[in-house]
């Protein structure tokens, strides 16, 4: 959805529709902005100063959420680190963290802000969702105390998590996800002991959620099946296992993605692991599209984006990044 703020911050949530429900269509907004960063990163700031910085960023997000709702969006996804930035140590991030409860507590922070420990950020995000009747997905920091009875408890007596939260149109907290695959330099956070598979239901579909770097790993990305995937059988446990044959054909199939590189490579495989020469074309807007219907059942259609300039010296090279969006008409 087009919004007026410049799209400058690149790290956003990975967000996937797991199941369509009552509505045939819905409108989703994905928003990014130039985050207002703290100036003091060497030593911790006061809680009041931390909240002031977060409110500055939430002022921007609130305008985007209002505009998205006015344009008919049912749900909006905001950036990772979009409320306070990313330049922190474990100590300096602490004033920005809140204790985020399990959504099972059935809590609307906007209408009951004192039910748990002070949570002004959760309260404000809840009110943004409630006041605009829209699902809001946001990224904040969660803190959880621990003690010596937990052998994994950090020396400072707390766990700190990079956390996604989701508020429904009434402002209720409906999902909380702790990022499992932390990117380099995210030493301010802990990763949960076990990867979390987090989903939430809406009137227009069931959604799964994870964060940025998570998309390169099996858990939770593959566990949530965030792609058009040919499973080996009707048993969901077989999804992700090697598959060489399929039965499904398409009258039309197109695949598009937004890439930060001009090096984008298509791949199409038909049943029997056969290539499809001449049957797909890459349009001027970058879409990979079938020229007619697919002549054989499809196993996979993929776009790979390659950022050569980010390669590390051998032998520390990383694998290509992926960033794709699928549209189809069976």
SS3 254: strand
Q: Which of 32, 98, 143, 212 is catalytic?
A: 212
Q: Which of 123, 179, 186, 226 is catalytic?
A: 179
The question of whether 291 is a catalytic residue gets the answer no
d(C-alpha 101, C-alpha 117), whole Å: 10
- Edge-to-edge strands of the sheet including 252-256? 280-282, 288-290, 252-256, 325-329
Q: Residue 151: how many CA atoms within 13 Å on its side-chain side?
A: 0
Output the CA–CA distances (angstroms, integers) from residue 330 to 74, 211, 271, 287, 293, in the order listed.
Answer: 25, 30, 16, 18, 10
Return the residue matching tokens 């009258």. 251
d(C-alpha 98, C-alpha 143), whole Å: 6
| Burial of 292 (C-beta count, 10 Å sphere; 0-12/13-18/19+) | exposed
d(C-alpha 306, C-alpha 262), whole Å: 8
Q: Which of 67, 80, 98, 123 is catalytic?
A: 80
Q: Where are the alpha helices (DSSP H) in the chain?
A: 47-70, 90-93, 120-132
- Least Cα distance to 255 among 284, 289, 306, 295 occurs for 289
The question of whether 179 is a catalytic residue gets the answer yes
- Rounded to 5 degrees, φ, ψ at 16 are -135, 140
Extract the tokens encoding 150.
Answer: 């937990």
d(C-alpha 135, C-alpha 168), whole Å: 4
Query: What is the separation of C-alpha 40 from the centre of its chain, rounded to a whole number of angstroms?
Result: 28
The question of whether 172 is a catalytic residue gets the answer no
Task: For the chain, give the longest Cα–Cα distance.
Answer: 64
Annotated active-site positions, please? 80, 179, 212
């Amino acid at each position: 959805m087009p919004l007026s703020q410049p799209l400058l911050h690149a790290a956003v949530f990975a967000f996937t529709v797991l199941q369509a429900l009552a509505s045939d269509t819905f409108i989703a907004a994905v928003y990014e902005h130039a985050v207002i960063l703290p100036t003091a990163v060497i030593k911790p700031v006061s809680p009041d100063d931390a909240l002031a910085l977060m409110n500055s960023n939430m002022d921007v997000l609130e305008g985007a959420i209002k505009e998205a709702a006015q344009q008919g969006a049912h749900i909006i996804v905001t950036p990772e680190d979009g409320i306070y930035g990313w330049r922190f140590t474990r100590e300096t991030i602490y004033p920005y963290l809140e204790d985020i409860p399990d959504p099972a507590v059935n809590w609307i922070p906007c209408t009951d802000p004192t039910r748990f420990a002070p949570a002004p950020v959760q309260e404000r995000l809840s009110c943004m969702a409630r006041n605009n009747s829209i699902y809001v997905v946001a990224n904040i920091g969660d803190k959880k105390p621990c003690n010596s009875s937990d052998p994994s408890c950090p020396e400072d007596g707390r766990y700190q998590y990079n956390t996604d939260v989701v508020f429904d149109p009434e402002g209720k907290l409906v999902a909380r996800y702790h990022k499992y695959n932390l990117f380099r330099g995210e030493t301010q956070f802990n990763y949960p002991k076990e990867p979390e598979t987090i989903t939430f239901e809406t009137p227009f579909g069931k959604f799964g959620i994870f964060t940025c770097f998570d998309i390169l790993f099996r858990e939770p990305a593959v566990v949530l099946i965030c792609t058009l995937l040919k499973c080996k059988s009707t048993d969901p446990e077989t999804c992700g296992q090697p598959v060489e044959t399929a039965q499904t054909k398409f009258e039309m199939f197109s695949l598009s993605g937004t890439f930060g590189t001009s090096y984008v490579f298509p791949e199409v495989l038909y049943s029997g692991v056969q290539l499809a020469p001449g049957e797909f074309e890459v349009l001027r807007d970058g879409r990979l599209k079938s020229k007619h219907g697919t002549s054989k059942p499809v196993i996979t259609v993929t776009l790979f984006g390659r950022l050569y300039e980010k390669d590390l010296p051998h032998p520390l090279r990383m694998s290509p990044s992926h960033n794709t969006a699928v549209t189809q008409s069976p």
